[in-house]
Structure 1
Amino acid sequence: MPAPFDVTDFGVLPDHDHTDAAPGIRAALHAAGAVPGPALLRFPPGEYHLWPDAARCRELYVSNTVGDDPRHRDKAIALVVEAAEDLAIEGEGARLVLHGLQTTFAVIDSRRVRLSGLEFDFAVPTVVDATVVGAGVEAGRAYRVIRVPAATLFSVEGASVRWHGEVLGSGAEAWSGHDALEYTQIHDPARRRTWRGHNPLFERVRTVRTVGERDIRVDYEHAEEPADLGLVYSMRQTTRDHPGGLVLDSSGVTLSRMRFRFLHGFGVVAQTSRDVTVEECEFQTPPGSGRHSAGFADFLQFSGCSGRAVVRDCLFDGPHDDPINVHGSYLRVTGQPDPRTLELEYPHRETAGFPQFAPGDQVEIVDRATLQAVASATVLRARQPSGRDHDRPLRRVVVTVEADLPGDLAGWTAAENLTRTPSVRIAGNTFRNVPTRGVLVTTRRAVLIEGNRFERTGMAAVYVSCDAGEWWESGPVRELTIRGNEFVDPGGPAVFLDPATTGCDAGRPVHSGVVVTGNRFVLDGVPALDAKSTHGIRFHGNGIVRLGADAPDIVLRSCSDVHVET
């Protein structure tokens, strides 16, 4: 029987205005995590507010966020589970509202942790969803009326709009920006499609004024009538200063029946963790809120994980990047002091600062141009950043292996940790209002993508890359099964196998062992499967319906051992 705890026993009161619940929740988490056996911490139904002023702060380096930028070393975290074992946190009906810029939760250095039932949202989301509710031409000038959700804060300053966050305890605003901010994606509720595109809302502006509590009228210097009535322009800045949630150096972690109404920064990241499950969760804005963006970037990211990564029966609606991405990290080989030592570096500006290797791990060296293996070895020791401080260089890793490697590896090769690659099951999920891909996956262990529904993704629905030159996300797939899914009108190939090589050689494939079976494809001008440099493709038992523009059902580039049955 787990030891019971309740946050109200630590002075936390639900539905208590905007009182900061962070200190009491911190105390409750500490007490529940300190017991020697299983523990259960309960959040009674109601609304809880958490401010960054009293939040736990940690210096952390997280994949695909801000790299080693010193301005963003410290992350404010609303709910921290640290060094815990056999802990369950339950909160059906509990709504946690975050203020400012924070990570919703972090599970760090923990084993067998389960979070269930909690709902996370932000009082002021860092994405502005502006709907065009009026448009036309008056007195020879075009105009638009845009409506923003009640949660969006703004002020009109001359012929400009300043969007901003709340005023914090320090007296400073959490964030601010003007007009179109730095990035825009567009949502069409009528066609139920979302894409990245041009933002005309604040071009050639003559005047700006408020015409209601949430309506802003923008008049222009030109007379071209706007043709975007009803569209939603989702605008944000581009700095991913926080992970939306974090599972770090932990194992046996389950997120169940969680509701993520908004995630600031870079989604929920599972990093260098083992056996992580996300089940029956919703990534979607609150109904009736007027908001459309539930995430600042990706929804779920598995980086350098091992064991099993499972995502099942979830709803992914309204991200600003890919809903699910599973990958490792290639490090560039920059030096070779001796036959058993490699000097490596993080080459991408958004990923750096965390450890990659442990003694006994298997490392593979690949040619960056072809992604073909040129050597492999067992790690003996590594000098590398800790992921928790900046006492060591944040981009540099030195690895010593147990056997001699070929010489002259610097400059043209990259290294991957083969040990930190998970098997993956993605099943029973729904993907909608996605501007990019639905699922990105690059791992050499078994991958099953089964029984999902992909609705009008802006790009490919399932994307398999492997690249040592741009995002540096490793590695090849060796056993990928895609079965029983429904692909509805994707913006790119429904299944896209596209390793980032500079040349194609059917005799030296990057990917292998791909089975696409029992799926239903509803397509308009795109193929069901587009594959490059892949050996052993089986495409059978699939149904293909063409909506409009024709296209080949299958496109193959430098592939071998392909069997197709229609």
Structure 2
Amino acid sequence: MARLLDVTDFGVLPDRPGTDAAPAVRAALRAARADAGPVTLRFPPGDYHLWPDAAHRRELYVSNTTGDDPRHRDKSIGLLVEAAADLVISGEGARLVLHGLQTTFAVIDSRRIRVEGLEFDHAVPTVVDATVVDVGVEAGRAYRLLRVPAATLFSVEGTSVRWHGETLGSGALAWSGLDALEYTQIHDPVAGRTWRGPNPLFERVHAIRRVGERDLRIDYEHAEEPADRGLVYAMRQTTRDHPGGLVLDSSDVTLSRVRFRYLHGFGVVGQNSRDVTVEECEFVTPPGTGRHSAGFADFLQFSGCSGLVSVRDCLFDGPHDDPINVHGCYLRVTAQPDDRTLALEYPHAETAGFPQFSPGDQVEVVDRATLQVIATTTVVSVRQPSGRDHDLPLRTMAVTVEDALPSGLAGRAAVENATRTPAVRIVGNVFRNVPTRGVLVTTRRPIEIAGNRFERTGMAGVYVSCDAAEWWESGPVRDLTIRDNDFIEPGGPAIFLDPRNAVREQPVHSGVTVQANHFVLDDVPALDARSTSGIHFHDNTIVHLGKQTSDVVLRSCPEADIDTGAAL
């Protein structure tokens, strides 16, 4: 029987907004970790405020964040589970409110961990959702009236607006930026669409004034009435200084019925972990707050994982990038000291500093232009960064392998760890208000994408890439089943198989089945594929709205078995 601990026994009570719960939460987690048997740590219902001043801080390097930038080595973590086993953190009705820039939770070096029922939010989200509530022309000048959520902090500075975070214990602002910040996406609540686009709010400004607590009136140097009444401009900076959540070097981790109201940084990242389950979770802003952006970037990202990645019965609503991305990592070959040693590097600026290999791992060496396998071998030894410090170079590593390799690999080849590749099951989820793709997945093990609903994604509903030139996200697909899904008015091909090989004579992907899906399309295909062999497309229903285009587009796709049936 599991021992039950209550977080309030460690010196904190819920619903005390002026009290930092971080010290008590740290003490409760220490006690839970020290217990030899199964433990349940309970958060009673109510709000718990976590400030970064007393938070755990760890030097960590996380995929797709800030790479080896020394300014962002240390991460503040609201809820840290570290070197623990057989722990359940339960909190139905409990809300953890993070202040400043923090990772909501991290599970590190742990096994058999379950987080259930909690709600995570940020007191001041780092995305500004500004709704155009009124437009017009007065005295020869156009104007907009903007409304921002109560959680958004700002001040007017002449003809600019400064958006900012809270004042920390040090006296500094957690973050700040002017006007349109660095990135904007636009949300149309009526049409249920979100897209990336230009931001006209702060162009040719004549005057800005505050109107009440939440409204801003912007007058312009022109008389053309704006045509964007009702649209929401979601503005943010672009530095992913924290992962929103983290599962690192851990196994058998489950997130169940967790509500993520806002994730700062780069979503929940599963990195070098095994058997991760996300079930019945919500990634969506609190209702009635005027907020529409639930994430600064992706919602879920899995990098270099193994075992099974399972995501089921979740709601994904309002990210600033892809809701789900599962991939490996290609490392560029920069030198070949001998026929069994390769010098490798992380080429992308946002990914560096963490280990990629262990002795005994199987690796594939591929040609970067064709993405075809040059050699397969086994790791004997490796010198690489640890992911926890900067004692070794963060961008480079050296791998010694079991078998002799062909010469001339430097510059033209990349290496993937074929052992750290998961099976994937994405079932019964809803994707809405997405500016990009719904699901990105590149892994050689079995993939099932079934029973999901993709509503008006800005790009493809399902995207299968693999590239050794841009994001360096690796993985040839060998067994992918996409069935019983609803693809409703995607902004790009509903399913896009798009390996980024410059030379396309030989297929990169294979074994793709698209069956019994329902497509509602307007001028985009149901399936657009290239360099993929053995595609089976059967028993799908296709409804066309407006302009009709080809249902299936194939390029360099041998042995395809296509039956589009009768389009409606």
Shorter-chain-normalised TM-score: which range? over 0.9
The residue aligned with 2:25 is 25
The residue aligned with 2:541 is 543
The residue aligned with 1:430 is 430
The residue aligned with 1:524 is 522
Separation of aligned partners in 2, 1:23 and 1:213: 33
The residue aligned with 1:457 is 457
Residues 390-539 of structure 1: matches in 2 within 5 Å? 390-505=390-505, 508-539=506-537
Give the CA deviation at 1:381. 0.6
The residue aligned with 1:558 is 556
The residue aligned with 1:389 is 389
The residue aligned with 1:299 is 299
Separation of aligned partners in 1, 2:385 and 2:122: 32
Residues 372-387 of structure 1: matches in 2 within 5 Å? 372-387=372-387
> What SS class does the counterpart of residue 27 from structure 1 fall into?
helix
Residues 24-423 of structure 1: matches in 2 within 5 Å? 24-423=24-423
Separation of aligned partners in 2, 1:177 and 1:16: 30
- Which one-letter code corresponds to 2:543 in the other structure? V
Q: Is the 8 A contact 1:367 1:414 kept in 2?
A: yes
TM-score, length basis structure 1:
0.99
Q: Is the 8 A contact 1:499 1:532 kept in 2?
A: yes
Q: Is the 8 A contact 1:94 1:118 kept in 2?
A: yes
Separation of aligned partners in 1, 2:17 and 2:65: 33
Deviation track 1:448-473 (CA, whole Å, cap 9, x = no partner) reads 00000000000000000000000000
> What SS class does the counterpart of residue 25 from structure 1 fall into?
helix
Give the CA deviation at 1:34. 1.3
Question: Which sections of structure 2, spanning at least 5 residues, go unmatched?
Answer: none
Q: Is the 8 A contact 1:240 1:265 kept in 2?
A: yes
How many residues align? The count is: 564
Q: Is the 8 A contact 1:504 1:557 kept in 2?
A: no
- Which one-letter code corresponds to 1:562 in the other structure? A
Give the CA deviation at 1:4. 1.0
TM-score, length basis structure 2:
0.99
- Which one-letter code corresponds to 2:260 in the other structure? F
> What SS class does the counterpart of residue 560 from structure 1 fall into?
coil
Deviation track 1:354-386 (CA, whole Å, cap 9, x = no partner) reads 000000000100000110000111000100000
- Which one-letter code corresponds to 2:300 in the other structure? L
Give the CA deviation at 1:172. 0.4
Give the CA deviation at 1:3. 1.2
Give the CA deviation at 1:387. 0.0
- Which one-letter code corresponds to 2:105 in the other structure? F
Separation of aligned partners in 2, 1:219 and 1:259: 39
Which shows bigger deviation, 423-432 or 218-227? 218-227
Give the CA deviation at 1:17. 2.6
> What SS class does the counterpart of residue 81 from structure 1 fall into?
strand
Give the CA deviation at 1:503. 2.6
Deviation track 1:196-242 (CA, whole Å, cap 9, x = no partner) reads 00100000000000112111000000111100000000000000000
Separation of aligned partners in 2, 1:258 and 1:472: 31
Q: Is the 8 A contact 1:187 1:234 kept in 2?
A: yes
Deviation track 1:69-120 (CA, whole Å, cap 9, x = no partner) reads 0000000000000000100000000000000000000000000000000000
- Which one-letter code corresponds to 2:408 in the other structure? D
Give the CA deviation at 1:403. 1.2
Separation of aligned partners in 1, 2:9 and 2:204: 57
Separation of aligned partners in 1, 2:392 and 2:421: 26
Moved over 2 A (4+): none
Give the CA deviation at 1:18. 2.5
Separation of aligned partners in 1, 2:100 and 2:118: 19
Question: Which sections of structure 1, spanning at least 5 residues, go unmatched?
Answer: none
User: Identity of counterpart residues, as a percentage?
Assistant: 77
